[in-house]
Amino acid sequence: MPENVEIIQNKPLGGDYYRLTVSSQSLSRATPGQFAHLLVQSQQEPPTWDPLLRRPLSIYDLEGDKASFLYRTVGRGTKILARAKPGEKLDLLGPLGRGFQLGAAPTLLIGGGVGAAPMLFLAHTLHERGQEFAVLLGARSAQELAHAGDFAKYTSAVFLVTDDGSLGRQGIVTDFVPEIIAQFSAIPKLCACGPMPMLAALAALAAKEKLALDVSLEARMACGVGACLACTCFLRDGNTARVCADGPVFPYEVLDWRG
């Protein structure tokens, strides 16, 4: 059932990034890696149904009934969302999808760009469970890592990498995974979200080094609940899966990386 939630904060972070906080009963039962499907219609009279389709956003963090989202403005829907003000209402559906499988293993959380979004909630949960974990965040430049400070609440093991070297070390996240893994007490499981080339490079590394890797995929979505097949991805066994309902998190080895 959709919920009409109140916006508490919608804060520009720098670059195209924003953090949105809402008060939501339904999202208070979310687990890390799940997402909400938001209606982002502009507030105008008479009310409009445009854009018609909801936009999926990962749950960035959860404190009681306060859920937050980290989002980047890329098109019409997210630009409308960036204009939303505290006190306004937003229609959302969630929590949706299957998130990260939590085990006892140490974990390396890897977020590329706005792929950091599902990682803060995962860090929060691993911190509460007292598990060993570290966070590796990459972006094009420092301007796109304004959210990195949020992770300090849950761990001091945060490694930053930028393409231009303007914050942290210069390079791409996959350059640094082996040396960070070596700092763990035991080989960690990798949990990653970010651009497809980054996920594919991590999948190749995981296959070569026999690492466990869960990836959170993005796909264009319509219904968000498994009914329309708009978000299909291909599996290694020749079948397909729905990113919205069977994912967005999948063990890398079930996915077909050849496409």
Ligand X SMILES: Cc1cc2nc3c(=O)[nH]c(=O)nc-3n(C[C@H](O)[C@H](O)[C@H](O)COP(=O)(O)OP(=O)(O)OC[C@H]3O[C@@H](n4cnc5c(N)ncnc54)[C@H](O)[C@@H]3O)c2cc1C
Q: Under the rule (CB under 6 A), what is the footprint of ligand X?
A: 35, 55-58, 69-72, 74-78, 114, 117, 218-221, 248
Q: DSSP label at 113? A: G
Helix and strand numbers, DSSP H then E, in the chain: 4, 16
Given candidates 227, 236, 251, 256, which one binds ligand FES under the rule CB under 6 A? 227
Q: Considering CB distances under 5 to 8 angstroms, the limit depending on partner class, which of ligand FES, ligand X, none binds residue 207?
A: none
Half-sphere exposure at residue 30, Cβ-oriented, CA atoms within 13 angstroms: 34
Half-sphere exposure at residue 244, Cβ-oriented, CA atoms within 13 angstroms: 23
Q: Does 230 bind ligand FES (CB under 6 A)?
A: yes
Mark the segment that binds ligand FES (CB under 6 A) among 9-17, 128-136, 196-204, 218-226. 218-226
Q: Considering CB distances under 5 to 8 angstroms, the limit depending on partner class, which of ligand FES, ligand X, none binds residue 133?
A: none
**Which residues, at least 6 apart from 194, have a Cβ–Cβ distance to it below 8 Å?**
110, 111, 112, 113, 115, 138, 173
Q: How far is the CB of 187 from ligand X (least distance, A)?
A: 28
Q: How far is the CB of 169 from ligand X (least distance, A)?
A: 24
- Beta bridge mates, 248: 98
Q: Does 223 bind ligand FES (CB under 6 A)?
A: yes
Mark the segment that binds ligand FES (CB under 6 A) among 82-90, 146-154, 220-228, 247-255. 220-228
CA distance 171 to 201: 14
CA distance 77 to 47: 16
CA distance 124 to 118: 10
Q: Which is nearer to ligand FES, 147 or 242 (CB)?
A: 242
Q: List Cα–Cα distances, 255 to 82, 155, 242, in angstroms.
A: 34, 31, 12
In the region spanning residues 231 to 250, those forming contacts with ligand FES, defined by CB under 6 A, are 231, 242, 244
Give contact residues for ligand FES (rule: CB under 6 A): 221-224, 226-231, 242, 244
